[in-house]
Amino acid sequence: MTVSTLSAGLVALSGGGALASQQSPAHPSPPAKPMPAHVAAPYFEAWTGESPAALAAESGNKYLTLAFLQTAAAGSCTADWNGDATQPISPATFGSDIATIQARGGNVIPSFGGYSADTTGTELADSCTSVDAIAKVYESLVTTYGVTRIDLDIEADSINNAAGIDRRNKAVAKAERWAERSGRPLQFSYTLPTTNTGLAPNGVALLQNAVDNGARVDVVNIMTFDYWDGATHDMAADTETAAAGLHAQLAALYPKKSPAKLWHTIGVTEMPGIDDFGPEETFTTQDAVKVEKWAVEKGINTLSFWALQRDNGGCVGTAGANSCSGIAQDTWQFSHTFEPFTRGHGHSHH
């Protein structure tokens, strides 16, 4: 659906006059469904001009993480897609794509931050000093698009910005209380850098601050790539040790939670093929098979990868490309390997 037919549709909706106004207001999307207990949701690079709904259908993904939302300038309290003021949080930006994905039984996870925002002061909570304003932006995604999870990708400068971390967690807690009052399902995930043995101390400190602020963190999603330590990595094995380290760290933060519950708050994001560091850190198609099997066995919450547009073999030998994995592979091979994680395990562990 083009923007013009979408707005025409909205005009038609409001054209019912007096009769319509006596009934409940029209909702642009069906009632929001909570995320599955186990979900594969690759990141979608939202700045490329491609259609998330079209690529979701092509790749067989029901769920996508849309990256990224950030402010257009440091100091702003308005978050836009890609930090582009012409792409606000509104039905005109991705609204019809998201509705299409939801109509197919899936959803999207809007993601804030990412390396670029986190190094330019344009991550929402770094940029905006009002907790209320930050929370309102989170809430606007729920009311505009009918999403049920929001992702916060906090790395680089943002993970060391104590004031931003505190504001963000206070805003998360506020948005969660709003969602409970209004009967809407809403989860928050934190996407954080990791070592191959768990979070660095700054990651643990961020989660401790969430605990202190009463912010419920539903998923801690670790980026198991870009270790940048100069070593050659077995990327599947390092995913398992990183997650085991995280599990121990979560056990200390949440002593009342059972080991199984803790596994169920863990997410893993891979970078298919050659990551930004280079060939020493290559996540192979065989690694993907191993990790999906391990994820099912452990009962983790989320399997993801960076990014959907890289899930093809178009640039063999290239590290850290935006539009291809750098290895020989079938198009959508990583999507197809991870996809059964959602389909087969949507309702277990409940």
| pLDDT of amino acid 120 | 98
Task: Count CB neighbours of 242 within 10 A.
Answer: 23
pLDDT, tens digit, 9 for 90 and up, residues 275-317:
999 999 999 999 999 999 999 999 999 999 999 999 999 999 9
Q: What is the pLDDT of residue 7?
A: 37
Angle between helices 235-253 and 285-298 (to 10 degrees): 30
Note whether residue 338 is domain-resident.
Answer: yes
d(CA 206, CA 8): 45
The mean per-residue pLDDT over the stretch 45-67 comes to 98
The percentage of residues in the chain with a pLDDT greater than 70, rounded to a whole number, is 89
Q: What pLDDT is attached to residue 264?
A: 97
Dump pLDDT digits (tens) for 311-340. Answer: 999 999 999 999 999 999 999 999 999 999
CB-based contact 262:308 (threshold 8 Å) = no
More confident residue, 342 or 31: 342
Q: Over 80: is that where the pLDDT of 170 sits?
A: yes
Distance of CA 70 to the CA centre of its chain: 14
Which domain range does residue 84 map to? 34-343
In a domain, 248, yes or no: yes
Residue 119's pLDDT band (boundaries 50, 70, 90)?
very high
- Tokens 């709003």 -> residue: 178
Residues 33-49 have a mean pLDDT of 97
In a domain, 281, yes or no: yes
The whole-number average pLDDT for the span 174-195 is 97
How much is the mean pLDDT over the chain? Answer: 91
In a domain? residue 19: no
Residue 191 lies in a domain: yes
Domains contained in the chain, number: 1
Task: Give mean pLDDT, residues 6-18.
Answer: 36
Is residue 47 assigned to a domain? Answer: yes
Rounded to two decimals, the pTM is 0.91
Q: Residue 329 sits in a domain of what CATH number?
A: 3.20.20.80
Answer for the pair 302, 221: CB distance below 8 angstroms, yes or no: yes
Strands (E), 127-197: 149-153, 187-193
Q: Are 270 and 225 in contact (CB under 8 A)?
A: yes
